[in-house]
């Protein structure tokens, strides 16, 4: 029994792909950095980190519960923990509620407004998992859940709304939706067969890759608007330039006739992109070199 808990924890972390937290967490840190163009306190950074861990863990756990019957039919996902019986639904519900509790407590520690907006966060995180059942815009809903990260961090630090984090969140929305479309192309035939809604199943792979490209043109423009509004400098723009290069390369890797490298485009390049943009934003805050 002593070995069962560590083993199940490992299975759970693999199930929710905990390493994918890297997509949203750097942008949450960016939202916190940009409020006053300074590094927040260690306490604020700690609670933002715990809030992000709680939010993403809850969302992914809930997604696995809701999609467990679909996952069991899909060859790509049939080996996940719930379809294989490695974890019970009750156990995953326990992790889900525990993660929402962590998010709630972290929000309480950050600011009164963040705490009051907790139900909005729960609704957004929960709703996404149902969208593939009725709308091909599900990729945008996923983008919205991750796009709330910088906005939520900004609100947590400042206690108020601002145009800049809204634009940053919209940039994250289109960036995430763009690479999620690429990833969904792998499930094109399965989604068509079982009536799962997605942009690839609705418009076909070739058109979907073009839509993804458009989203990945919109995202950097929104990030650029953030830089202009906040008068960010050379290092932020350098990071944005690298991000555009990574997006361009991502679309060179994947074609309608060859989706074999979609996984590389999904995780490696996009994980790198989020870290690069954050690091150059931090450098811009620490060593400002204005260009506006």
* Close Cβ partners of 36 (under 8 Å, ≥ 6 residues apart): 157, 158
Q: For residue 52, give both structure tokens.
A: 């992000």
What confidence score (pLDDT) does residue 291 get?
Answer: 78
Q: Using 50, 70 and 90 to split pLDDT, how confident is the model at 164?
A: very high
What confidence score (pLDDT) does residue 1 get?
Answer: 39
Mean pLDDT of 272-280: 95
The pLDDT of residue 216 is above 70 = yes
What confidence score (pLDDT) does residue 258 get?
Answer: 87
Q: Using 50, 70 and 90 to split pLDDT, how confident is the model at 41?
A: very high
> Helix or strand or coil: residue 255?
strand
The pLDDT of residue 124 is above 50 = yes
What confidence score (pLDDT) does residue 160 get?
Answer: 87
What confidence score (pLDDT) does residue 182 get?
Answer: 94
What confidence score (pLDDT) does residue 231 get?
Answer: 95
Q: Among residues 120, 124, 102, which one has the least CA distance to residue 54?
A: 102
DSSP 292: -
Q: For residue 225, give both structure tokens.
A: 């608007």
* Close Cβ partners of 256 (under 8 Å, ≥ 6 residues apart): 205, 206, 209
Model confidence pLDDT, tens digit, residues 228-274: 999 999 999 999 999 999 999 999 988 998 888 877 666 788 889 99
CA–CA separation, 36 vs 195, rounded Å?
A: 47
Q: Using 50, 70 and 90 to split pLDDT, how confident is the model at 2?
A: very low
- Structural domains for the chain: 4-286 (1.10.357.140)
Q: For residue 112, give both structure tokens.
A: 């009164």
pTM of the full predicted structure?
0.93
Mean pLDDT of 99-114: 94
What confidence score (pLDDT) does residue 23 get?
Answer: 81
Mean pLDDT score of the chain? 91
* Count of CB atoms situated within 10 Å of the CB of 258: 9
Mean pLDDT of 219-230: 97
């Amino acid at each position: 029994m002593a070995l069962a808990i560590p083993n199940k924890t490992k299975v759970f972390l693999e199930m929710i792909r905990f390493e994918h937290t890297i997509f949203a967490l750097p942008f949450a840190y960016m939202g916190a950095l940009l409020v006053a163009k300074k590094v927040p306190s260690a306490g604020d950074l700690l609670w933002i980190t715990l809030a992000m861990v709680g939010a993403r863990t809850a969302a992914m756990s809930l997604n696995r519960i809701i999609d467990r019957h679909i996952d069991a039919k899909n060859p790509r996902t049939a080996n996940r923990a719930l379809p294989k019986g490695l974890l019970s639904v009750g156990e995953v519900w326990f992790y889900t509620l525990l993660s929402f509790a962590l998010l709630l407590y972290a929000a309480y520690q950050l600011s009164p407004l963040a705490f009051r907006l907790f139900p909005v966060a729960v609704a957004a995180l929960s709703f996404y998992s149902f969208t593939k059942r009725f709308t091909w815009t599900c990729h945008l809903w996923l983008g919205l859940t991750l796009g709330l990260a910088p906005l939520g961090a900004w609100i947590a630090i400042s206690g108020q709304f601002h145009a800049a984090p809204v634009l940053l969140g919209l940039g994250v929305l289109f960036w995430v939706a763009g690479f999620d479309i690429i990833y969904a192309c792998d499930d094109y035939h399965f989604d068509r067969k079982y009536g799962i809604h997605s942009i690839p199943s609705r418009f076909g792979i070739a058109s979907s890759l073009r839509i993804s490209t458009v989203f990945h043109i919109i995202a950097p423009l929104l990030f650029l608007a953030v830089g202009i509004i906040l008068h960010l400098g050379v290092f932020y723009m350098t990071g944005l330039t690298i991000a555009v290069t990574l997006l361009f390369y991502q679309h060179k890797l994947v074609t309608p006739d060859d989706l074999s490298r979609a996984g590389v485009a999904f995780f490696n390049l996009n994980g790198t992109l989020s870290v690069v943009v954050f690091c150059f934003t931090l450098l811009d805050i620490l060593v400002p070199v204005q260009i506006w």
